[in-house]
Amino acid sequence: MKAVFLHASLYPGGASSTIPDTPPPIHGKTDFNSIFSDIRNHKVTPLQSGPTIVTRDIPPAPQFFTLAFPAPLDEANNAIGYMGFESLATYDVNACAEHCNVRAFTVSSDGLSSGACAYFNIWTAVVNGTPTANICSMYDTATDSSTATNNGQAGDIQIINSLGYNRTSLIQDGSFQDFTCVDTQTVSCPFEFSNFWERFFEFNYDFVLIGSEPGSAHSGTSSANFFFAPPSPDSPSFGSTLTYVPILIETVPGQSYIISLFVSNSILFPVPQPPTGTLVSVFWNNVDVLDAAQATFMPTEGVTYFNFQVTVIARGHDTLFLQNGFEFPHAAYVDDVSVFPRWF
């Protein structure tokens, strides 16, 4: 199975979306300075409705999305994975969802891809007491109201009617937050059985969940570590597995789904040259559908995540597991595993 990397030329649905003059950094937070500057300098779409401040009811979630807020808030998301924003003539949740559906992947100068838009935040900017712009900001990583912390800019800009929507994934705890660290190993712990994931390996430390190591998680505070270093006694000589426990009973036979996950570069040095080989393979209904390979581009330090996606066909009551690569010694992180109904 050939590894699949996402590139800027791969837009969902073959459609393009407005790309900012300066793309946001991969996995950076919301660029409020740019948003507020465009609002002040009248570079946003004028509102069609009159300048009346109203408290909105919660609109129904658009197709492919799930509401992530308990109620409209007066704070916007300051979240990681920011992909830019669009301004809307009306407070239209469905229009914001469509922008998210066709948003171009953010790609950095070194070729890193953000992956598809997985979350959007819609809100109204009030300038000196007058509703002035409806903002639709987009993100490659799921979040919720816990990151809604920006209430505007002192002096003139206020945020109202903020709502957030996550792209609906069939995977629960794809970010590996639901675990209990039983036997702490500095900043990691053996991968214990959780409500959603189980591991199969011979030795205790082939999979670990990282609870506090800076930069090891793509989102949240935890990620799965896929470690293989023969002939070390810490790793078996075969590809161990990480299985999603629940059967995916929500899938519709014959329909297409997108498996998306973030895999880091190997942080085990020295890295083989050339740095090629599979880090993690994805199995759908026991068939290898995607091999996430070691990237040719290698950061000199730290953890760098790459997004991988593959389209699969459901048969109903589908299964998913990840298998550790065994072509070369490595230690790579996996995070934010999702199965999305195909939207394009």
pLDDT in tens, 17-67: 333 445 556 668 999 999 999 999 999 999 986 656 667 778 899 999 999
Helix boundaries (H) for 103-252: none
In the chain, what percentage of residues exceed pLDDT 90? Answer: 52
- Can you give the pLDDT at residue 2? 45
Could you state, in order of their start, the residue ranges of all structural domains in the chain? 12-167, 188-341
Q: Which residues are bridge partners to 152 per DSSP?
A: 158
The fold for domain 188-341 equals Jelly Rolls (2.60.120)
pLDDT in tens, 142-169: 999 999 999 999 889 999 999 999 999 9
Do the beta carbons of residue 208 and residue 189 sit within 8 Å?
A: yes
Return the DSSP state at 147: G
Give the residue from 213, 221, 229 showing the smallest Cα distance to 266.
Answer: 229
Do the beta carbons of residue 173 and residue 194 sit within 8 Å?
A: yes
